[in-house]
Amino acid sequence: MNTVAAPEERRAVKVALLGCGTVGGEVARLLSEQAGELAARAGVPVELAGIAVRRPDKHPELPPELLTADAEKLVTSDEVDVVVELVGGIEPVRGWLLAALKAGKSVVTANKALLAEHSADLFEAADAAGADLYFEAAVAGAIPLLRPLRESLAGDRITRVMGIVNGTTNYILSAMDSTGAGYAETLDEASRLGYAEADPTADVDGYDAASKAAILASLAFHTRVTASDVHREGIADVTAADLGAARMLGRTVKLLAICERVTDDDGVESVSARVHPVMIPRSHQLAGVGGAFNAVYVEADAAGELMFYGQGAGGAPTASAVLGDLVAVARNLVAGGRGPRESAHAALPVRPMGQTPTRYHVSLSVADRAGVLAQVAQAFAGHGVSIAAVRQSDVGDRASLVVVTHQAPDAALQSTVDEIAKLDVVHEVVSVMRVEGEDQ
Ligand SMILES: NC(=O)c1ccc[n+]([C@@H]2O[C@H](COP(=O)([O-])OP(=O)(O)OC[C@H]3O[C@@H](n4cnc5c(N)ncnc54)[C@H](O)[C@@H]3O)[C@@H](O)[C@H]2O)c1
Ligand SMILES: N[C@@H](CCO)C(=O)O
Ligand code: NA
């Protein structure tokens, strides 16, 4: 348990840094370059006790006496007060962090994959030992977002969190939209710039954003949501035709994480968490978020609408969030307090995607003859889906038909699209995508 130390008894807060790659390297640099200022802000010097990397011989830039390949031993060393984990992945990191917490060390991590599956165990271990668990860098990089959710908005009732939380896919979609650049070359560039995960399929297939959505939903709604509770679709299937269809409607495509508190007709509350590509109007504030930037809207009963924007990936921006957490832990050690614990009292069920209300855009290539529109409209009506707008234009002997719906349960919309694809009069389903935001 943390205790208050008299100023003369305070020794430096000693940090074990696990991982010294894109983010860890920047944390090590800033800890050294800003040592004086960090000590002044924390009220105590913050110093490295050791750095664990996979291959110490590959790091001539780091002090050799600090380097080790044995993270397991480092995390429970008597000399260490705080473990900063920037390795990533679930095992063996989970075991290291549980051992560290059990030994009373506080933990700062950027590891969303681990938190989205095991935060309950980690919080429990932190509570048992009276240690801290901070993870601002795990969602939306440099942007202060988790601290506002955990602390500033703890007195409000959040109803929705929606935004762009993966820098790599936003970088790719922005380039595909603005320059028509190809998917593969843009992904290579995102990896080179240090935005992508070690295995970039975690980014493009939506796993990274789904982990972040689970963390956001858990914090915003005071419940437990894991990555497997989040409906996940990535951007691998987003085509030039989708972007073209969006452009025709004055829209663009973004990969969004959407977490909502939903109340059914009987007043029963649940949460819905999903990640998928979405068409949004170009006038929407999220449409202007380019490159590896992230932006997240939070809607709360009393606060109204808030927006958080900034660099969501990259070494230095992510290190900024890590260092902020490290200063918070050091201050707690000095003052003898603790940061916020897990808040999961609401224990809300997770609503399946099929029952979640969404809106669809469907772009079809159809035969240009009488009665086609009626057949398509009938398919929507048969599934109880109400149409908001229809646009038809002739393309040679075919017609292009674009339908935008009102909200309906996602399963009803999926069934409608499946039925339409089988109609003889439909030559091709050119693009199907969910939509958010009002049309102009
Ligand atoms: N790169 C970003 O923009 C970014 C942003 C936010 C969060 N994150 C998260 O930060 C973490 C680190 O990401 P990164 O981009 O810096 O990764 P990275 O691949 O650049 O670095 C990983 C580091 O971990 C070390 N490592 C791997 N296995 C190890 C082992 N068994 N023992 C000791 N050290 C080991 C490697 O030597 C390397 O130094 C991940 O959880 C990632 O999801 C990254
Ligand atoms: N790979 C992640 C890093 C930031 O969490 C991204 O592209 O957003
Ligand atoms: Na953040």
Does 212 participate in catalysis according to the annotation? Answer: yes
Indicate which residue's Cα is closest to atom 28 of ligand 1.
Answer: 54
CB of 168 sitting under 6 A from ligand 1: no
Examine residue 92 and say whether the peptide bond preceding it is cis (omega within 30 degrees of 0). Answer: yes
What is the pLDDT confidence band of residue 185, given thresholds at 50, 70 and 90?
A: confident
Residue 174 has pLDDT above 60, yes or no: yes
| pTM of the entire predicted model | 0.96
Indicate the average pLDDT of the chain.
Answer: 95
Task: Specify the pLDDT at position 2.
Answer: 52
Task: Specify the pLDDT at position 440.
Answer: 47
Task: Specify the pLDDT at position 240.
Answer: 82
State the distance from the centre of ligand 1 to the C-alpha of 73, rounded, in angstroms. Answer: 19
CB of 24 sitting under 6 A from ligand 1: yes
Task: Specify the pLDDT at position 6.
Answer: 52
Distance CA 90, CA 328 (A): 25
Catalytic hit among 14, 105, 212, 254: 212
Ligand 2 site, CB within 6 A = 141, 166-168, 195-197, 203, 208, 312-313
Q: What φ, ψ does residue 234 adopt, rounded to 5°?
A: -95, -160
Residue 71 has pLDDT above 90, yes or no: yes
29 to each of 32, 219, 220, 323, how far by Cα in Å? 5, 31, 33, 11
State the distance from the centre of ligand 2 to the C-alpha of 255, rounded, in angstroms. Answer: 13
Residue 8 has pLDDT above 70, yes or no: no
Distance CA 219, CA 153 (A): 10
Task: Specify the pLDDT at position 116.
Answer: 98
State the distance from the centre of ligand 1 to the C-alpha of 84, rounded, in angstroms. Answer: 11
Residue 82 has pLDDT above 90, yes or no: yes
CA dihedral 399→400→404→408, nearest 10 degrees, is 70
CB of 23 sitting under 6 A from ligand 1: yes
Task: Specify the pLDDT at position 18.
Answer: 99
What is the pLDDT confidence band of residue 9, given thresholds at 50, 70 and 90?
A: low
Binding residues for NADP(+): 18-25
Q: Which ligand neighbours the alpha carbon of 136 most closely? A: 3
Segment 396-401 mean pLDDT:
87
Q: Which ranges constitute the DSSP H helices of 312-409?
A: 315-335, 372-382
Residue 59 has pLDDT above 50, yes or no: yes
Residue 239 has pLDDT above 90, yes or no: no
What is the pLDDT confidence band of residue 162, given thresholds at 50, 70 and 90?
A: very high
Task: Specify the pLDDT at position 244.
Answer: 86
State the distance from the centre of ligand 2 to the C-alpha of 188, rounded, in angstroms. Answer: 14
Indicate which residue's Cα is closest to atom 1 of ligand 2.
Answer: 196
Share of the chain above pLDDT 90, in %: 88
Q: Best of 18, 53, 170 to mutate for ligand 1, by most ligand atoms within 8 A of CB?
A: 53
Atom of ligand 1 nearest to the CA of 114: 41
Task: Specify the pLDDT at position 410.
Answer: 97
Residue 439 has pLDDT above 70, yes or no: no
Indicate which residue's Cα is closest to atom 4 of ligand 2.
Answer: 313
Distance CA 255, CA 166 (A): 8
Q: What is the ipTM of this complex?
A: 0.99
Distance CA 203, CA 276 (A): 12
